[in-house]
Amino acid sequence: MAQLSILRYPDPRLHTVAAPVKEVDDRLRRLVDDMLETMYEAEGVGLAATQVDVHQRVIVMDTSEERNEPRVLINPELIAVSDEMVVGDEGCLSVPTVYDAVQRHAKVTVRALDRDGQTYEMAVEGLAAVCVQHEMDHLMGKVFVEYLSPLKRERIKSKMLKRSREEQKRR
C-alpha cells in the first residue's frame, strides 16, 4: 500500500467531475487500499478519489469510533434522502484546519458497489450521512466551501494559497 498526495483547495483539479468506474479489478482495489491508508494517516473520516487526483467515482470512509469499519463506495448514488436537514461544522482533508457550518440531509440511503464489485445499499444518518454527501460532492467536482458565502470562500482561498506558498519556501 502507498500513501497518496491529497489535493489542496483551491487546486482546480478538485472541480473535475469523476467518471463512473467501468470495472472493479486489482488496480481499483489497490487504489481503494491506498485511499484508506491515506485517509487513516490524515485522520479523516472520508476520502473521494478526486481528492487524490484520480477522477473516478470511488469513496472510502470510516466514521466508527474505533476507526475499524472501513466502507468502500464505488459508483455511489443517493437513492433516498430525508426531508429533515441538519447543520453541522464540516471539515475536509483538501481544506485542512478549516471548519464551517453546512446544511445536509439528516438521513440518506446510498447504493454502491463494494471493494469486490458487489452491489449493496446502505441507509445512514448522523456523521455517516454527512460524510456520504460530502464525499459525493467531491465526485461532482464540488468542495464544501462552495456552500459558504463568497466572502468566506475568498478568505479560505487566500488562507490556503498563503499556506501553500509558506510550505513551498520551507522545502
| 131 annotated ligand binder | no
| 134 annotated ligand binder | yes
Helix (H) or strand (E) holding 135: helix 126-139
Q: How far apart are the first and last CA of the chain?
A: 25
Quick check: is 135 catalytic?
yes
DSSP state of 6: P
Exactly one of 135, 146, 166, 167 is catalytic; which is it?
A: 135
Q: In whole angstroms, what is the distance from residue 91 CA to residue 144 CA?
A: 8
Cell numbers found for residue 45: 473520516
| 138 annotated ligand binder | yes
Q: In whole angstroms, what is the distance from residue 55 CA to residue 23 CA?
A: 14
Would you report the helix, strand and coil content of the chain in percent, each value rounded to 5? 35, 30, 30
Closest CA to 113 of 100, 122, 102: 122
Q: Give the residue numbers annotated as catalytic, written as ranges.
A: 135
**Annotated binding residues for Fe cation:** 92, 134, 138
